[in-house]
Structure 1
Amino acid sequence: MSSSATRFDRGHTDDLITFLAASPSPYHAVATAAERLEKAGFRQVEETAAWDGTTGGKYVIRGGAIIAWYVPEGAAAHTPYRIVGAHTDSPNLRVKPRPDSGAHGWRQVAVEIYGGPLLNSWLDRDLGIAGRLTLRDGGHRLVNVDRPLLRVPQLAIHLDRGANDGLKLDRQRHMQPIWGLGDDVREGDLIRFLADEAGLDADEVTGWDLMVHSVEPPAYLGRDRELLAAPRLDNLLSVHAATAALAAVATAGEPPACIPVMAAFDHEENGSESDTGAQGPLLGTVLERSVYARGGTYEDRARAFAGTVCLSSDVGHAVHPNYAERHDPTHHPRPNGGPILKVNVNQRYATDGSGRAVFAAACDEAGVPWQSFVSNNDMPCGTTIGPITAARHGIRTVDIGVACLSMHSARELCGADDPYLLANALVAFLK
């Protein structure tokens, strides 16, 4: 990495802790990223407005998704893109349309399971509630009750003597949190409470997208503070790194050779099939409009896409010391060993040999070590936005990430150095 480029260190991980604490929902994550981009000179453009071909940093927000890009001086209409893709959502418990519930003198909140969480990790944990309230005029207001408010109580072992031999949780009956006492279910109680927390009249609120979160703050862990324990590492770690890298490239004073882009989507944890997910048209529309705003034609669009590369950045599995047999015997990614290159020949990850070369070059340029990940043949392989991006847009895509433990838990664990090692590799890639 050139001497004039930003080089992140442990201060980046300190800042990740701040980012995670401020981002208990995809909507908060997007707002937090946008605020940081604004400070780097980026400006929001509305999808409903006409776009121009001016240079500089721009971004669009749609719900829980944000796409930001930087057009350097002199960029031709056919200039290719360098994209870092990520997602803003995490597996959790989300509030139902009729949230007020209860039984036997307990007030409860009716929740639906979102994505594929480790259900047991949500038991006996102090939980807050966050998300967005939709107003009668069509606007939105973010709300975040970041204090102990709810709890999903586990059944005492005296009433389930076999709990330690195999806990089985019913997703409907066993995962409804309590938040108070009372024999009567008061319709609208939760929304009235949250409207008051947001400084609103409850009559203004006509809809909501709400979810619970652990209120235990992120923290360094270990004898030498070499680990980071935190909620939503999957995948706000990548959103934070991409935001920091894009801002660094845009303010470095050296125009990048391509147009750097950050694309952070919602709904990855349930298949990406939404207008704000990677299966939707949002990324392609933004990239095409940027080409056409600079006077380009369909031929320019085709040339730009043909030269574009995307790094799909999402967390991956570090080797688990208690379950090493679940991992491939020759691929054991370790915390603080640098970002991982994720490979699956059945295209659950989009990486191929040429993509490996792109990633290796970026890490070499940044002076960052990297590791390879492949699943044990006897274990099903997860997937990411990578194959979706490659197939939908015809863009060469490489799957990467940071190795962690306890993926999809309410609280995950990674090496404290890996977030900034990833960010340094992304800077080199976006340049």
Structure 2
Amino acid sequence: MTSLSAYTDDFASFITASPSSYHAAAEAARRLDDAGFERREETDDWTAGTSAGRHYVVRDGAIVAWVQPAGATPTTPFRILGSHTDSPGFKLKPKPTTGSYGWLQAGVEVYGGPLANSWLDRELELAGRLVSTDGVQHLVRTGPFLRIPQLAVHLDRTVNEALSLDRQRHLNPVFGVGDLRQADLVGHLAALAGVAGEDVAGYDILTADTNPPARFGLHHELFAAGRMDNLSSVHAGLLALIQGPENHETITVLAAFDHEELGSQSRSGASGPMLDDILSRIGDDLGATMSERKRAYADSWCVSADAGHAVHPNYPERHDPANLPLAGRGPLLKINGNQRYATDAAGAALWARCSAAAGVPYQEFVSNNTVPCGSTIGPLTATRLGIRTVDVGVPLLSMHSARELAHVNDPFSLSAAIGAFFAGA
């Protein structure tokens, strides 16, 4: 999209449609269907010669899509955009209908590393998937449904000096009042999904903020929404893949993994086999030998796109004093001497070329030595596949909050640079 406003509106729509990783994968699949991509099932036989074109695979809350030119050979390299669909929050426990003193509550466990205080006193929804006894998956979302109420300042006069939240006692949301024996949270979700409660055999249900994305500020340059870590990268890569011209020299791939916030160790996470499974099957269909596949990987690139940190104006001392990325000045090139990010000098040169080709700026990010550095799927992908990898992302404030903050220019610029990457810059 050439219009910043159109891009931002579309990004907001994508976030609204994606309250869970399962919904994000489904919304990406819907958009790919509309763009003429063909869904592939992993259980099907992908016969030789039929992989040319535009395809995608969904595995649980992850999705991998690719564009394969008709002239691809066994040594055609890949250009991969890696991202993730999940975000921190709270996940519904087994036997989730709890409560006391007349309140009905949902039993939840912490998912990832949410900024817990930001989830207090918000209208939240439950969203995710139910799986019925026949193995069929049913997506469900409640809309505004529950809330984690904070203790009033009158009952804790020290709350503004030191807020301490016990994960077991203080973070269980309320969703009503009444007799606990007559409440059935799973039954309610089942009814919304059109499934009998007794037919629900399992579920993966998480919380999401229901406040819609908003553009605001002096010049409407600020953008607030939940789950920008990391739907900002999923959306940017998705649009770049759909709207970009076919690159006849590479196979372009969008890989949006699940469970990054938990360490990526799952069948649909970046430490799992999903990407290698699909790239290997593409190679098999092209008749690639193991040696040819290694040659293709050696000439391939992965851009690992995950949100990063803009300088916080109230806490500038938490950032490296010589590298101070600002909101609105372009995506981050993420660097870490201990390889918590996969960027090296060759990757930095690649990102410089992509940004220049797209006509957008970028900024370097490195952690303050006294502040531990997080990580991304980048080092995991580089380690598993041996593909050269560079880490980038949109600068945010309030990362892992229920509602994060970005400048509208930065997601737009990220998508443009990814488009140049897919085009072969």
CA contact (8 A) 2:80 2:253 kept: yes
Per the TM alignment, residue 325 of structure 1 is displaced from its structure 2 partner at its CA by 0.5
Distance 2:262 2:39 in 1: 28
Deviates more, 1:47-56 or 1:237-246: 47-56
Letter of the structure 2 residue corresponding to residue 423 of structure 1:
S
CA contact (8 A) 1:279 1:388 kept: yes
CA contact (8 A) 2:259 2:269 kept: yes
Q: Which residue of 2 aligns with 1:172?
A: 168
Letter of the structure 2 residue corresponding to residue 13 of structure 1:
T
Per the TM alignment, residue 183 of structure 1 is displaced from its structure 2 partner at its CA by 4.0
CA contact (8 A) 1:256 1:430 kept: no
Matched ranges for 1:254-293 at <5 A: 254-293=246-285
Q: TM-score normalized by structure 1?
A: 0.96
Distance 2:392 2:5 in 1: 21
Letter of the structure 2 residue corresponding to residue 195 of structure 1:
A
Matched ranges for 1:340-379 at <5 A: 340-379=332-371
Q: Which residue of 1 aligns with 2:236?
A: 241
Q: Which residue of 2 aligns with 1:150?
A: 146
CA contact (8 A) 1:366 1:424 kept: yes
CA contact (8 A) 1:7 1:424 kept: no
Per the TM alignment, residue 186 of structure 1 is displaced from its structure 2 partner at its CA by 4.3
Distance 1:144 1:334 in 2: 35
Structure 1 residue 184 and structure 2 residue 180: aligned?
yes
Structure 1 residue 302 and structure 2 residue 309: aligned?
no
1:295-328 per-residue CA deviation (whole Å, 9 max, x = no partner) reads 1111111111111100000000000000001000
For the residue of structure 2 that corresponds to 1:79, the secondary structure is coil
Letter of the structure 2 residue corresponding to residue 105 of structure 1:
G
Per the TM alignment, residue 9 of structure 1 is displaced from its structure 2 partner at its CA by 2.9
Distance 2:220 2:160 in 1: 31
Structure 1 residue 31 and structure 2 residue 26: aligned?
yes
Distance 1:370 1:8 in 2: 19
CA contact (8 A) 1:78 1:304 kept: yes
Letter of the structure 1 residue corresponding to residue 152 of structure 2:
A
In the alignment of these two chains, the number of paired residues is 421
**Identical counterparts, % of pairs:** 54
Q: Which residue of 2 aligns with 1:208?
A: 203
Letter of the structure 1 residue corresponding to residue 156 of structure 2:
D
Q: Which residue of 1 aligns with 2:388?
A: 396
Q: Which residue of 1 aligns with 2:113?
A: 116
Indicate which of 354, 363, 375 corresponds to 1:383: 375
1:336-394 per-residue CA deviation (whole Å, 9 max, x = no partner) reads 11111000010000000000011110111111111000000110001000000001111
Q: Which residue of 2 aligns with 1:81?
A: 78
Q: TM-score normalized by structure 2?
A: 0.97
Q: Which runs of 5+ in 1 are unaligned?
A: 1-5
Letter of the structure 1 residue corresponding to residue 176 of structure 2:
G
Q: Which runs of 5+ in 2 are unaligned?
A: none
Report the aligned-residue RMSD. Answer: 1.1
CA contact (8 A) 1:95 1:109 kept: yes
Structure 1 residue 17 and structure 2 residue 12: aligned?
yes
Letter of the structure 1 residue corresponding to residue 331 of structure 2:
P
CA contact (8 A) 1:341 1:399 kept: yes
For the residue of structure 2 that corresponds to 1:272, the secondary structure is coil
Per the TM alignment, residue 11 of structure 1 is displaced from its structure 2 partner at its CA by 1.1
Q: Which residue of 2 aligns with 1:126?
A: 123
Distance 1:271 1:162 in 2: 35
